[in-house]
Amino acid sequence: MNNKKNIFQQILSKKIITNIIYQDDLVTAFNDIKPQSPIHILIIPNIFIQTLNNINHKHELILGRMLLVASKIAKKKKIHKSGYRIVINCNVHGCQTIFYLHMHLLGGRQGVNIFF
């Protein structure tokens, strides 16, 4: 896979300009261009990881940072008390459409309960 054509890699390399909500040495966060909730933010690692299946012990700090950043953004957006959802899709049957590991932070209204 050529990740230079991947939209997230293009955002990180500044070939595509977007409003960065948060960025540090490990992760970057920005608004989803097709939001599914009033607040829909994507949090990505700054290094290419294709799917959740491709993580290993070297990625622990990055994955922890992604969750910490999600919590910080939820507080900043004032959805931490009402609640929010964190979603990571993996591969086709898991509804992953961009093959670059990313986390969705969704909030601002009650989501649909997908568990039966």
Give tens-digit pLDDT for 14-37: 999 999 999 999 999 999 999 999
Catalytic residue (one of 40, 59, 80, 102): 102
Q: Is 73 exposed, middle or buried (0-12, 13-18, 19+ CB in 10 A)?
A: buried
Annotated catalytic, 102?
Answer: yes
Closest by CA position to 41, among listed 4, 94, 85: 85
Domain spans, the chain: 3-107
**pLDDT of 40-92, one tens digit each?**
999 999 999 999 999 999 999 999 999 999 999 999 999 999 999 999 999 99
Residue 115 clears pLDDT 90, i.e. is over it: no
Instruction: Mention the CATH class of domain 3-107.
Output: alpha beta
Name the residue among 86, 61, 62 with its Cα closest to residue 73. 86
- pLDDT recorded at residue 110: 77
Q: pTM, whole model, 2 decimals?
A: 0.91
Q: What's the mean pLDDT when you consider all of the chain?
A: 92
